[in-house]
Amino acid sequence: MSMSILVVDNHPVMLKFMTDLLRKEGHHVMTARDGLAALDILKGFTPGVLFVDLIMPHVNGERLCRIIRKNPRLKDAFVVILSAIAADEEIDFLRFGANACIAKAPFDQMRQHVLAVLKQAGAGPTPSGGSRTLGTETMQPRQITRELLTVKRHFEIVLESMKEGVLEITPDARIVYANRMALSIIGRPEELLVASSLVDLFGDTERTRMEKLVHGEEEDRDAFGKPLEFVMDGKPVSVKLIPLENSARGSIVILEDLTERKRMEAQLIRAEKMEAIGTLAGGIAHDFNNILTAIFGNLSLAQADVSPGSPVAERLEEVERASWKAKDLSRQLLPFSRGGTPIKKRVSVPSLLQHVPLDWDGDRKWQTRLFLSDDLWDVEVDPFQIQQAITHLVTNAFEAMPEGGTVRINAANFFARTENGAHMRKGTYVKISVADDGVGIPDANLARVFDPYFTTKKTGKGLGLAMVYTIMERHQGGVTLESRPNRGTVFHLYLPAVGELNNGDGGKPEIQSRQGIRVLLMDDEELIRGIAAQMIQHLGYSVELAREGGEALTLYEKASEEGRPFHVVILDLTVPAGMGGKEAMEKLLHMDPEARVIVSSGYSNDPIMSDYASWGFKGLLEKPYQMSDLEKELERVRQQ
């Protein structure tokens, strides 16, 4: 019975012997000088039997067998390994899909074995084809061959365990070898990658660059041996081309996936941008809040001097509303300020969401629905900052649905068992999700949405999501997103949880008489000292003023010696031209460990503002503050 046969061997004498023998037996024979040529032939030729040399350049016999067995057209082909090393090692030809193995020997002996396996192949498929290599009984093992095979196996193990992808390509850029990491980086199985062109792995622009590189055009000669960045299927990769000594053999290509490195570089760039923004924002917020403190102070005093319901009182209320908006604007800068430490409080999530605007300009086309778990843990957060972050996400969700729609806010307990993509620590969180059914975010923009100044809006500034990211990072929480074009977007905020909230307020402290209560106020701004002093006096306290910490310490010590001590001290934290509140506090506690001191500042870029009690302070006044804020904190601290 005539059969179609392909013989693959890099030795021309062996090819002639096999061709003459098989054709004499009446078979149709085609030949290939290596595995790469065989793969080209197999694209249009389906043999019933293949004789494959084991050791060949480019694609060796073992790899060729694996590729053949993954081709549906060739799954029933009878594959015979022709081996020149059969006596030097036990060849497990069944492992890589061959049916039989013949040792290369004198032609008379080989002729018998070839005809025997052809008879076996003609009898139809067999489970194993036999596991014994034919023709080894008359051959003697060769020590040098064994040593070379040991070295070969050693290098194969090294290549397969490398963290970089390794390819071997021919002079015309066809891939003849790929290690495990290369297959992973490229994302294709061996049977599809081997024999394909390296150039075809890249898009149009990158393809032109790669063609110039592999063909060694003059302008690219200096690029040999140096890592160059390319984009492969949307993924950044490093490509290093190393020509083999014999240029006719091709080159070695080293691949490295740069995705993680690029992500880290982007985080570093983002951090540097935030640092620059923070320096500017912190200075603006500090100066702005000092001005607002004077405005709020004078406004409080003016409101106390007019009759409720009068035209002047109504105008002052309008001024107050505008001033509150200015205060909120100032506080929006705080997350960007250098340090930007949140002023944390323990709150329940429902109370947190009460102050988030859940409609958009009263338009009924848009609505918001809340889905809150009944057993929500409390969270330890800066309420204003978190409300600011959620408000921005809700606003973005409305804008993503220009024809209207529903924004869904979900809150549930969450336990992070390991660090995840949001870079959160292991622990308990409350997960707040803001979801819309809008236009979604293109895949190309997903990695950039939290970058400062990145925006796709015509009127956007590109700081909103950067602010959300910064707030969550400062809270030791996290933020992630999921988005599909035209299917919507979901942002997930992870807030550190602290367990059940103790709602007992312990009763309201009784307000004691303020007559004879002395307050020492230190602030470097004359405008602040003046208006704060008027508010303190209006509240019924007596007050003395100091410009910086050294002067405050002198006044405190003198008052104690004279038997008329200060009951409460207010220290400004930041004093550019003198002793600030931190240093003054350390010296004051050394002087009087029982001192009741309130820290005050126009921005929260110092850890003292978020954990003032650890530094010995009894209270906190965030600038700008109204007279009611000042009254509440003075009463609370003096009764401790």
| Domain limits, the chain | 4-122, 162-257, 270-336, 349-499, 518-638
> What pLDDT does 143 receive?
58
The widest CA-to-CA distance across the chain, in whole angstroms, is: 127
573-591: average pLDDT: 91
How many Cα neighbours within 13 Å face the side chain of 589? 14
Q: What is the mean pLDDT of the chain?
A: 82
C-alpha 153/C-alpha 160 separation (Å) is 11
- Residue 61: φ, ψ to 5°: -65, -40
Comparison of pLDDT for 313 and 152, the residue scoring more: 313
348-365: average pLDDT: 75
How does pLDDT run across 78-133, given as a tens digit for each residue? 999 988 776 666 777 888 889 988 888 888 888 999 998 898 887 765 544 456 77
CATH architecture of structural domain 349-499? 2-Layer Sandwich (3.30)
- Residue 260 in this model has a pLDDT that exceeds 90: no
- Residue 598 in this model has a pLDDT that exceeds 80: yes
Do 334 and 463 touch, CB atoms closer than 8 A?
Answer: no
* Spatial CA neighbour of 427 closest among 439, 436, 437, 414: 414
- Residue 510 in this model has a pLDDT that exceeds 50: no
Least confident piece of the model among 344-353, 400-409, 497-506, 550-559 = 497-506
- Residue 315 in this model has a pLDDT that exceeds 90: no
C-alpha 237/C-alpha 220 separation (Å) is 18
How does pLDDT run across 405-441, given as a tens digit for each residue? 889 999 999 888 765 555 677 788 999 999 999 888 8
CATH fold of 162-257 reads: Beta-Lactamase (3.30.450)
**pTM reported for the whole predicted model:** 0.46
Strands 100-103 vs 78-83: parallel, antiparallel or unpaired? parallel
Helical (H) or strand (E) element with 622: strand 619-622
How does pLDDT run across 143-155, given as a tens digit for each residue? 555 555 565 666 7
> What pLDDT does 585 receive?
94
CA dihedral angle for residue 563, residue 566, residue 571, residue 577, rounded to 10 degrees? -30
CATH architecture of structural domain 518-638? 3-Layer(aba) Sandwich (3.40)
- Residue 8: φ, ψ to 5°: -120, 115
Do 6 and 41 touch, CB atoms closer than 8 A?
Answer: yes
- Residue 242: φ, ψ to 5°: -120, 105
Where does residue 403 rank: exposed (0-12), middle (13-18), buried (19+ CB within 10 A)?
exposed
* Spatial CA neighbour of 624 closest among 378, 415, 325, 399: 325
Same fold, 162-257 and 349-499: no
C-alpha 299/C-alpha 312 separation (Å) is 12
Percentage of residues in the chain having pLDDT higher than 90: 30
Instruction: Give the end-to-end CA distance of the chain in Å, rounded to a whole number.
Output: 107
188-200: average pLDDT: 90
Of the spans 74-88, 333-347, 607-621, which averages the highest pLDDT? 607-621
Assign 446 a pLDDT band (cuts: 50, 70, 90).
confident
Assign 553 a pLDDT band (cuts: 50, 70, 90).
very high
| Domain boundaries 4-122, CATH class | alpha beta
How does pLDDT run across 34-89, given as a tens digit for each residue? 999 999 999 999 999 999 998 888 888 888 999 999 999 998 899 999 887 766 66
448-471: average pLDDT: 70
Where does residue 510 rank: exposed (0-12), middle (13-18), buried (19+ CB within 10 A)?
exposed
Q: Both tokens of residue 18?
A: 């096999």
C-alpha 418/C-alpha 431 separation (Å) is 16
Strands 49-53 vs 78-83: parallel, antiparallel or unpaired? parallel
Do 623 and 292 touch, CB atoms closer than 8 A?
Answer: yes
* Spatial CA neighbour of 532 closest among 549, 546, 517: 546
- Residue 218 in this model has a pLDDT that exceeds 50: no
363-368: average pLDDT: 74
- Residue 392 in this model has a pLDDT that exceeds 90: no
Comparison of pLDDT for 26 and 463, the residue scoring more: 26
Q: Identify the DSSP state of 54.
A: S
- Residue 16 in this model has a pLDDT that exceeds 90: yes
Q: Both tokens of residue 460?
A: 């956007």
> What pLDDT does 127 receive?
46
Assign 274 a pLDDT band (cuts: 50, 70, 90).
low
Give the angle 22-26-32 at the CA atoms, nearest 5°: 40
What is the number of other CB atoms lying within 10 angstroms of the CB of residue 284?
A: 15
Assign 490 a pLDDT band (cuts: 50, 70, 90).
very high
